[in-house]
Each structure stands twice: as structure tokens, then as C-alpha cells.
Amino acid sequence: MTSGARPSPLVRAAIVGVSGRMGIALLRAAPGFSQLIVTGAVASAESLALGRDAGILAGLAPANLPVTNDLAAALAQADVVIDFSRPTAVRDTVHACRSARKPLLLGTTGFGGELDPELDAAAADIALLVAANTSVAAAVLMELTRRAAGSLPRTFDIDILDFHHRTKPDAPSGTALALGRAAAEGRGMELPPNAAVSGALGRPGPRPEGQIDFASIRAGDTVGVHTALFSGPGEELALTHRATDRAVFARGALAAALWLASRPPGRYGMADFLGFKTAT
């Protein structure tokens, strides 16, 4: 009788922000990942979901997993942490994961660049993946935008357009800003800190050459549409990602979290997960 290969151990994941749109999407998508089990469901102290069963919260069968505000206890039972909470809670999550030496996938957006030093410091001790968008196709869009910006002449204007549901608080979106940074990297330049507020609507007079502009629309229940628009003399190139179901972000985040759980300390992005060599 021959013995087969040992099955890979389950990766235990804690979800922070479990009662939000993305948290529920993660709970619903998790059963599709046989190597992963959700062992922590964390919400804010003000959440009405506290004490409820996470499975029932997601519209699934009972999971015997109560929603809690005890982040430390959830980290103790986890191999990797997925955060889709609120910008104001990010610092606490990063510090807690660093102290507990737990890999962290940070999908929350809307926090400022002032956290970058703390993120870099945490990445010295834990595997940290920061993603404005965890869709696999959106990550490909980032790479295509970088390459297009580097290939097209500087006579082409670059505009980043994003459309989201009417309740999304940040504009431009984190994905839009990431696309702007990708375009700037492709052109060998840095995106100015105020780039998001220097778009066409707020700029008098002719458009400066080389400036990357942003435009955002918040309406209805649009999940998310992002376009990198390159406009040159007599021609345009539009690269667009359209999400019609929030599940695409959840599936991408769960797949990336499985990958991240075994990574050494360092700062990663979706491009690293997908194996792009030219992206950061």
C-alpha cells in the first residue's frame, strides 16, 4: 500500500471589516477556496453585526463563528489577515498584525500617504500586501497602463476616470490613484501629492503638458469602472476594467491571501502575486 502526498494544511484567515460590503463578499467567496478557512470575523465596536454568526450574516449556513471586536483574539487563531475595514482603523490593524507577526493583506483604501512610513516599518517584520484593488484583471490593467504610458509619446494626455456607487466616500478611488501612479511610473515621473485635486474641473486655462488628470463619478449602485485614457493627436487609447460583481475583488483577495501566508517579510502588491517583473 502506497501512501499519497500529505494534503496541504488549511490556511486560517481573519477578516477585519467583516460586516461591510467587502467583508460579506469575502465570507461568501471563501467556501470556494478549499485550502482556506475563515477563523476570525472582526467588526468595529459600533457594528450592529457584533455577536451574530458570520455565516448567517453572509446569507450562508451557520458557521459557528461569531462576529467580534476582539482583534487580538482573532489574530491568535489566524495565519493571515485580510483587512477591508475603514481608513481610520488601518493603523490599529497594521500595528496589531506587526506585533502578532501575522501576514496582512490590506485592501482598505482612503487613508493618506502619511501611513507609508508605518507600512514600510511593518513590512520589515511581516508580509504586507497593500492593494487598492484586489481584482486580478484590475491588476493587469495597472500593468497595461504602466506600459502604455511608457510607450506612447508625451504628446498624449493621460486621464484616469472612475465610476462608483453613490455611497463610496473617497474620490478619486484608491484604484484610480494607483492607476495614476502606474502611468506616472511608466513615464518616469512621480505623481504629485495634489494630483487628485488638480484635474480639469479645478484647473483654469490650458492643460499643462504631461499632467495626469482625474475625474470621478459617484452614482447609483455601480460596483466599479476604471479607465486609463490616453488622448493624442488624432487618436485615443482607452484601457478599461469594469466590475459587475463585488465577488471578483473577494476572490482575488482570498487567492492573494493564500499566497501571502507563506511569503517572507516584505511589502508586496497584486503585481507580485501575479508575477509581473516590471511592476512594483
Question: 60-76: per-residue pLDDT in tens?
Answer: 999 999 999 999 999 99
For 67, which DSSP code?
-
Domain-embedded: residue 1: no
Q: How far apart are CA 61 and CA 46, in angstroms?
A: 25
239/251 same-domain check: no
Mean pLDDT of the chain: 90
Residue 100: is it exposed, middle or buried by C-beta count within 10 angstroms (0-12/13-18/19+)?
A: middle
Q: Please state, in angstroms and as integers, the Cα–Cα distance from residue 37 to each residue in 134, 253, 256, 271, following that order.
A: 19, 14, 14, 24
Reply yes or no on whether 102 is catalytic. Answer: no
Identify the pLDDT of residue 280: 41
Query: Structurally, how many domains does the chain consist of?
Result: 2
194/219 same-domain check: yes
25/86 same-domain check: yes
Of 164, 165, 226, 277, the active-site residue reads: 164
16/125 same-domain check: yes
232/150 same-domain check: yes
Reply yes or no on whether 164 is catalytic. Answer: yes
Look at 253 and 170; give whichever has higher pLDDT: 253
260/219 same-domain check: no
How much of the chain, in percent, has pLDDT values that exceed 70? 91
66/146 same-domain check: no
How far is CA 95 from its chain centroid?
Answer: 18
This prediction has a pTM of 0.83
Domain-embedded: residue 158: yes
Q: Please state, in angstroms and as integers, the Cα–Cα distance from residue 218 to each residue in 96, 222, 254, 270, following that order.
A: 33, 8, 27, 25
Q: What angle do CA 134, 135, 139 make, to 5 degrees?
A: 85
Identify the pLDDT of residue 207: 75
pLDDT at 7 over 70: no
Domain-embedded: residue 5: no
Mean pLDDT to the nearest integer, 138-142? 94
Of 102, 165, 168, 226, the active-site residue reads: 168
Q: How far apart are CA 25 and CA 263, in angstroms?
A: 25
- Domain hosting residue 230, numbered range: 136-243
Domain-embedded: residue 143: yes
C-alpha closest to that of 45 among 69, 75, 65, 67:
69
Sign for the CA dihedral angle at 58, 63, 68, 71 comes to negative
Mean pLDDT to the nearest integer, 149-168? 93
Domain-embedded: residue 69: yes
How much of the chain, in percent, has pLDDT values that exceed 90? 75
217/260 same-domain check: no
Cβ partners under 8 Å of residue 34, min gap 6: none
